[in-house]
């Protein structure tokens, strides 16, 4: 974890007094040079996200430049070397042995595990300090300084190792959940869902569009099956799988079109792709809004710290060499040539150590750890709320979301279809029984439903129960045909032969089948799909008596009205049509022949009801209340889409629908300027294609929105990838959609999307709380040490004390503030978006008020504490350290609420927060009372402890009072921009000119 980079360095400057050891000079030089190089490098190189060295599905917020061990190797060149199998480039590295040498890898022993240069320097310094200390002060007391360095190094390594171990265990658990894929197989004559880990050789696996092939196998049966083998070959063209030319199916490839069955020939590590299904590949090159803000913040703080440290170094050196500093006896420390060289070196080392301490104080070491802890904790809690986070940074990005583009089926609705209306011709069939339908129509309906389907019907041995498998739409239609039209699936399949199939996909929105009836060898084409699209292909229709009638314009309008009426009732309207074709046209039986899709005869219309989920309307209202726009993008027709959107609350009953509801074809035909102008007003997009959804996301991002997208199909993958946050469905979602997403909604419910939004805002808010808390510590300590160093030539807070404050205490503080639960107040605020500053004016107000109070109190103790409390300098230093730490403990309560005056609201519910505060106080008592040598403190009596607590508790009153102060809406730092300063300057000059006589 990158935050440890600076904490490694903390123990180096354990004192700021002239009797410092010489090893401080070496360490200070290395530390400052590294810090200068890192920040100067940041200012000259374009800002870009850093690729985490941990597995790519894990996110670490890199705030500090990592040490560059392999400066002679470009990482991108190394990646391309293997990817492109570039032998010529390998020769330039002197072969594999030369490359291994450049990477500092031993070809036999591998890499060494202990290469951190800072740790090595600290251990050398500790050893030197231990040796010199024992030599000068004896073994009884001489080990304290060197021992403290060793303890600090051990703490750094231990905290880092434990943290990494816990994260690895957490991510291993999540990986197991994300890899628990269910596959449909045929066993004992019925289709059933089994885990991918339960597939065995010989299994018959059912494949449909969007599935990933779970194992290696051979094609058994199916139609128009095409697979995407780009994950293996890199070629984007789809490969047709059939009996004759290519019956091979490989693990990890994706079904792009059609459907089929395969027999498994190898599983697990014996497959071609091996562990393809156990890996999750992520593209982490793009920075999240929070990452960009954090990098900018820490870079700025680092520059300020370096500038102040350099100024302190300059002032202290000038003071020393001009004779303005005195020793404990009141004599000048530097008297030209009379001063011993050894004393000069000790004094200069002490000055450099003081400057290094300033840098240590300025850098917010705990910030990256706080971010990681907050995200990891929230990710674990979101699992309980039916949201599995696959990309850690998606937690905080969701808190910035301004727009959510949601699917309809299965997300806003329950995805449990049922046929509720049936029209035969222009007559509504209330009974919908087989006795009221002409025999020839009934036979054609049986063929159109039973043969043109990817679903199946299983009848139990008792013969009384039916089990329907397939998509919700397929199951609903099959159930209707079997139970109400008395369709016998087995007899139908035995009496007919399927010649060719055109599978359903989201672009065509229809499916077709070419079949031959064995009894008389008649051949029919059957089509099924979106009602208005099938109707457009028809020229005739059947009435209930079985008579064929011509479909003229007048009759077509009547059918249009029937379709619109069902759509207005939130029904999905499906049409069936057929055409009798001549046998000789299709005798060759070519698999690629195109089915007749014109001059069809309409068989009937069915309306399927998919009711809205119970909590959807409330969830939509919550999102809208939080000023997040909800846009529904669906493949249904405009009337169904509008009805569902109104039922869910996306559209208001009295809303002006002009521009709010559009069709996909209309949206894609807009000019780019028109799209950018109208995209904000659109609430519903019907009859949309995958390209329309992607185009919508791109337009919204160009306008500055932070976009979340929900999707469950393969066709949603491009939009899920393009969105800032992709949310796939855990039940109905295809594996392609899940791989393209950042968060998986395990229950397919939009209410869980609203919960993720609430958690995202909570994560962002918790990070802001910690930043306010952390920066208060840094600002106060920076100013105190700076003023004390310049005025008195020494710093009141030693590096070991700052190690305790910045590493241990801030880590506990981060954990305490990270466990704050989402509140209703979070949904009252507008979304953060992309442009809002990370540190708001409210945070600046709270931060500066507490920092100024701490500075005033601690500087008073620094210069007048000995006389006020009538104590020695050692006790006074302990009072300063104790008061400083207790101020942070009390201020931790203030940080719980950035705006509310009552900072104790709901605190009884957060037992972990109270526990951490208690642990912090206990550890502070141990530091002051029992670790006097290690922490350079003195014991305090009850009265002194009471004084420290009383001073620190005043921060509660200050936090309460300061919240009455209003703050401007314009970000505070915007006034410090060069353009604004120039404007103020020009305005003042103009004023003076006009004021001249």
CA 222/CA 461 separation, integer angstroms = 26
Q: What is the mean pLDDT of residues 161-166?
A: 61
pLDDT band for 277, please (50, 70, 90 cuts): very low
Nearest to 910 by CA among 927, 895, 925: 895
pLDDT band for 882, please (50, 70, 90 cuts): very high
Whole-number pLDDT of residue 953: 95
Of 492-496, 796-800, 986-990, the poorest mean pLDDT is in: 986-990
CB-side neighbour CA atoms (13 Å) of 630: 29
Whole-number pLDDT of residue 7: 36
SS (H, E, C) 57-123: CCCCCCCCCCCCCCCCCCHHHHHHHHHCCCHHHHHHCCHHHHHHHHCCCECCCECCCCCCHHHHHHH
pLDDT in tens, 193-238: 888 778 877 788 888 887 888 888 788 878 878 887 765 554 556 7
Say which residues have a Cβ less than 8 Å from residue 531's Cβ, sequence separation at least 6: 563, 566, 573, 574, 575, 605, 637
Whole-number pLDDT of residue 275: 43
Concatenated DSSP letters for 881-949? HHHHHHHHHHHHHHTT-SS-S-TTTTGGG-HHHHHHHHHHHHHHHHHHHH-HHHHT-----HHHHHHHH
Of 177-191, 308-322, 576-590, the poorest mean pLDDT is in: 576-590
| DSSP-H helix ranges across 513-608 | 531-536, 553-568
Whole-number pLDDT of residue 854: 94
Whole-number pLDDT of residue 981: 46
Q: Is the pLDDT assigned to residue 797 strictly greater than 70?
A: yes
Other CB atoms within 10 Å distance of the CB of residue 371? 28
Query: Cβ distance 843 to 897 under 8 Å?
Result: no
Greatest CA separation found in the chain? 124
Q: Is the pLDDT assigned to residue 462 strictly greater than 70?
A: no
Polymer length of the chain: 997
Query: Cβ distance 603 to 542 under 8 Å?
Result: yes
Higher pLDDT pick, 883 / 330: 883
Whole-number pLDDT of residue 223: 82
Q: Is the pLDDT assigned to residue 257 strictly greater than 90?
A: no
Nearest to 862 by CA among 952, 928, 801, 784: 784
What is the SS3 assignment for 803?
helix
pLDDT in tens, 886-932: 999 999 999 999 888 899 988 888 888 899 899 989 989 998 998 87
Query: Cβ distance 415 to 611 under 8 Å?
Result: no
Q: Is the pLDDT assigned to residue 589 strictly greater than 50?
A: no
CB-side neighbour CA atoms (13 Å) of 683: 22
SS (H, E, C) 678-695: HCCCCCEEECCCHHHHHH
How much is the pTM?
0.63
Higher pLDDT pick, 698 / 747: 698
pLDDT band for 86, please (50, 70, 90 cuts): low
Higher pLDDT pick, 101 / 263: 263
Domains of the chain and CATH, by start = 71-112 (no CATH), 200-266 (2.70.150.10), 347-379+757-968 (1.20.1110.10), 387-414+613-748 (3.40.50.1000), 418-582+596-609 (3.40.1110.10)
Query: Cβ distance 560 to 519 under 8 Å?
Result: no
pLDDT band for 269, please (50, 70, 90 cuts): low
What are the phi and psi torsion angles at 212 (to 5°)?
-100, 140
Per the prediction, the chain carries an average pLDDT of 77
Q: Which residues of 36-74 are buried (b: 16+ CB within 10 A; e: fewer)?
A: eebbeebeeeeeebbebeeeebbbbbbbbbeeeeeeeee
Whole-number pLDDT of residue 108: 47
State which H helix or E strand residue 154 sits in: helix 144-178
Query: Cβ distance 98 to 72 under 8 Å?
Result: no
CA 426/CA 390 separation, integer angstroms = 50
Q: What is the mean pLDDT of residues 14-39?
A: 43
Whole-number pLDDT of residue 45: 40
Strand 466-469 versus strand 456-459 pairing type: antiparallel
Whole-number pLDDT of residue 21: 43
The Cα angle at residue 970 between residues 964 and 971, in degrees rounded to 5: 90
Query: Cβ distance 52 to 59 under 8 Å?
Result: yes
State which H helix or E strand residue 259 sits in: strand 254-266
Q: What is the mean pLDDT of residues 5-34?
A: 41
Q: Is the pLDDT assigned to residue 449 strictly greater than 90?
A: yes
Among the options 62, 211, 257, 407, which is catalytic? 407
pLDDT in tens, 799-858: 677 767 766 666 777 778 877 888 888 888 888 877 777 888 899 999 999 999 999 999
Of 36-40, 114-118, 570-574, the poorest mean pLDDT is in: 36-40
CA 96/CA 98 separation, integer angstroms = 5
pLDDT band for 526, please (50, 70, 90 cuts): very high
Q: Is the pLDDT assigned to residue 628 strictly greater than 90?
A: yes
Q: Is the pLDDT assigned to residue 71 strictly greater than 60?
A: no
Query: Cβ distance 729 to 712 under 8 Å?
Result: yes
| DSSP-H helix ranges across 322-461 | 341-362, 366-384, 394-398, 439-450
pLDDT band for 793, please (50, 70, 90 cuts): low
pLDDT band for 592, please (50, 70, 90 cuts): very low
Higher pLDDT pick, 554 / 837: 554
For a pLDDT cut of 90, what percent of the chain falls above it? 24
Higher pLDDT pick, 154 / 5: 154
pLDDT in tens, 353-385: 667 667 666 666 556 666 777 777 788 888 888
Higher pLDDT pick, 484 / 122: 484
Quote the DSSP letter at residue 28: H
Q: What is the mean pLDDT of residues 461-469?
A: 76
Strand 248-249 versus strand 387-389 pairing type: unpaired
pLDDT in tens, 666-687: 999 999 999 999 999 999 999 8
Whole-number pLDDT of residue 990: 39
Residue 106: beta bridge partners?
Answer: 110
Residue 831: beta bridge partners?
Answer: none
Quote the DSSP letter at residue 280: -
Strand 629-633 versus strand 684-686 pairing type: parallel
Query: Cβ distance 763 to 367 under 8 Å?
Result: no
Axis-axis angle for helices 144-178, 366-384 (nearest 10): 30
Strand 254-266 versus strand 387-389 pairing type: unpaired
| Strands of the 403-406 sheet, one edge to the other | 387-389, 743-745, 725-729, 707-711, 403-406, 629-633, 684-686, 661-663
Quote the DSSP letter at residue 419: E
Query: Cβ distance 729 to 366 under 8 Å?
Result: no
Q: Is the pLDDT assigned to residue 164 strictly greater than 80?
A: no
pLDDT band for 155, please (50, 70, 90 cuts): low
Q: Is 327 known to be catalytic?
A: no
pLDDT band for 68, please (50, 70, 90 cuts): very low
Whole-number pLDDT of residue 996: 39
Whole-number pLDDT of residue 479: 92
Nearest to 31 by CA among 353, 369, 317, 368: 353
Nearest to 884 by CA among 860, 916, 866: 860
């Amino acid at each position: 974890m990158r935050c440890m980079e600076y904490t490694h360095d903390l123990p180096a400057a354990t004192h700021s007094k002239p009797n410092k050891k010489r090893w401080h000079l070496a360490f200070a030089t290395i530390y400052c040079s590294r810090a200068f190089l890192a920040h100067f490098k940041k200012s000259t190189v374009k800002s870009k996200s850093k690729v985490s060295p941990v597995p790519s599905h894990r996110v670490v917020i890199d705030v500090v430049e990592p040490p560059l061990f392999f400066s002679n190797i470009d990482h991108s060149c190394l990646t391309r070397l293997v990817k492109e199998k570039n032998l010529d480039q390998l020769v330039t590295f002197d072969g594999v042995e030369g490359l291994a040498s450049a990477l500092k890898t031993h070809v036999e022993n591998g890499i060494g595990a202990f290469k951190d240069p800072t740790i090595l320097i600290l251990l050398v310094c500790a050893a030197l300090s231990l040796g010199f200390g024992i030599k000068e002060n004896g073994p009884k007391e001489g080990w304290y300084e060197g021992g403290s360095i060793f303890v600090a190094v051990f703490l750094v390594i231990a905290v880092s190792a434990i943290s990494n171990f816990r994260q690895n265990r957490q991510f291993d658990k999540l990986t197991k959940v994300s890899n628990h894929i269910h596959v449909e197989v045929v066993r004992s004559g019925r289709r059933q869902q089994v885990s991918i880990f339960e597939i065995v050789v010989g299994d018959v696996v059912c494949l449909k569009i969007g599935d990933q092939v779970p194992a290696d196998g051979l094609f058994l049966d199916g139609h128009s099956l095409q697979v995407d083998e780009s994950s293996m070959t890199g070629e984007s063209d789809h490969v047709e799988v059939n009996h004759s030319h290519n019956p091979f199916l490989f693990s990890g490839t994706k079904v792009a079109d059609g459907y089929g069955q395969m027999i498994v020939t190898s599983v697990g590590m014996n497959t071609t792709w091996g562990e393809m299904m156990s890996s999750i590949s992520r593209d982490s090159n793009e920075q999240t809004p929070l990452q960009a803000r954090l990098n900018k913040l820490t870079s700025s703080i680092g520059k300020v710290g370096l500038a102040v440290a350099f100024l302190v170094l300059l002032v202290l050196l000038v003071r020393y060499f001009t004779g303005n500093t005195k020793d404990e006896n009141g004599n000048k420390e530097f008297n030209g040539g009379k001063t011993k060289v050894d004393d000069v070196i000790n004094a200069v080392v002490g000055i450099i150590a003081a400057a290094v301490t300033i840098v240590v104080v300025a850098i917010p070491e705990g910030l990256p750890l706080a971010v990681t802890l907050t995200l990891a904790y929230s990710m674990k809690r979101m699992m309980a709320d039916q949201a599995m986070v696959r990309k850690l940074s998606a937690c905080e990005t969701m808190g910035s979301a301004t727009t959510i583009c949601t699917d309809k089926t299965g997300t806003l609705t329950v995805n449990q279809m049922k046929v509720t209306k049936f029209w035969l011709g222009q007559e509504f069939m209330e009974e919908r029984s087989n006795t009221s339908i002409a025999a020839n129509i009934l036979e054609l309906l049986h063929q159109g439903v039973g043969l043109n389907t990817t679903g199946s019907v299983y009848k139990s041995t008792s013969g009384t129960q039916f089990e329907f498998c397939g998509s919700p739409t397929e199951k609903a239609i099959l159930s209707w045909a079997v139970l109400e039209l008395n369709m016998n699936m087995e007899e139908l399949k035995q009496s007919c032969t399927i010649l060719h199939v055109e599978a359903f996909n989201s672009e065509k929105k229809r499916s077709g089948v070419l079949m031959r009836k064995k009894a008389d060898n008649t051949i029919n084409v059957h089509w099924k799909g979106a009602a208005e699209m099938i109707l457009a292909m028809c020229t005739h229709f059947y009435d209930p008596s079985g008579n064929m009638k011509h479909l003229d314009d007048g009759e077509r309008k009547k059918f249009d009205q029937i379709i619109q009426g069902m759509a207005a009732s939130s029904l999905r309207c499906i049409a069936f049509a057929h055409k009798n074709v001549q046998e000789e046209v299709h005798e060759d039986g070519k698999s690629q022949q195109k089915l007749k899709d014109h001059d069809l005869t309409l068989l009937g219309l069915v309306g399927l009801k998919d009711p809205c989920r119970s909590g959807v309307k409330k969830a939509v209202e919550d999102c809208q209340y939080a000023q997040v726009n909800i846009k529904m993008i669906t493949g249904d027709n405009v009337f169904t889409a509008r009805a569902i959107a109104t039922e869910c609350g996306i559209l208001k009953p009295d809303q002006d629908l002009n521009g709010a509801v559009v069709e996909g074809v209309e949206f894609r035909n807009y000019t780019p300027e028109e799209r950018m102008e109208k995209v904000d007003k659109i609430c519903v997009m019907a009859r949309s294609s995958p390209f329309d959804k992607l185009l919508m996301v791109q337009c919204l991002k160009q306008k500055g929105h932070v976009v979340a997208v929900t999707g469950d199909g393969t066709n949603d993958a491009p939009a899920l990838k393009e969105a800032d946050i992709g949310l796939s469905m855990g039940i109905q979602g295809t594996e392609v959609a899940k791989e393209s997403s950042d968060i998986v909604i395990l229950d397919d419910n939009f209410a869980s999307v609203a919960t993720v939004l609430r958690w995202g805002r909570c994560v962002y808010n918790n990070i802001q709380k910690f930043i306010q808390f952390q920066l208060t510590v840094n600002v106060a300590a920076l100013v105190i040490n700076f003023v004390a160093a310049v005025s008195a030539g020494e710093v009141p807070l030693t590096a070991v004390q700052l190690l305790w404050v910045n590493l241990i205490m801030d880590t506990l503080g981060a954990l305490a503030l990270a466990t704050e639960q989402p509140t209703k107040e979070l949904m009252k605020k507008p979304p953060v978006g992309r442009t809002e500053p990370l540190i708001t004016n409210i945070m600046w107000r709270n931060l500066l008020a507490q920092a100024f109070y701490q500075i005033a109190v601690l500087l008073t103790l620094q210069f007048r504490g000995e006389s006020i409390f009538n104590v020695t300098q050692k006790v006074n230093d302990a009072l300063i350290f104790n008061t400083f730490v207790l101020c942070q403990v009390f201020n931790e309560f203030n940080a719980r609420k950035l705006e509310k005056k009552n900072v104790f609201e709901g605190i009884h519910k957060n037992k972990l927060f109270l526990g951490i505060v208690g642990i912090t106080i206990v550890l502070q008592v141990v530091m002051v009372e029992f670790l006097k040598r290690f922490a350079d403190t003195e014991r305090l009596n009850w009265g002194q402890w009471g004084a420290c607590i009383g001073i620190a508790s005043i921060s509660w009153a200050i936090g309460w009072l300061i919240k009455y102060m209003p703050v401007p809406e314009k970000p505070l730092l915007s006034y410090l921009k060069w353009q604004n300063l120039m404007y103020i300057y020009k305005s003042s000059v103009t004023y003076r000119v006009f004021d001249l006589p």
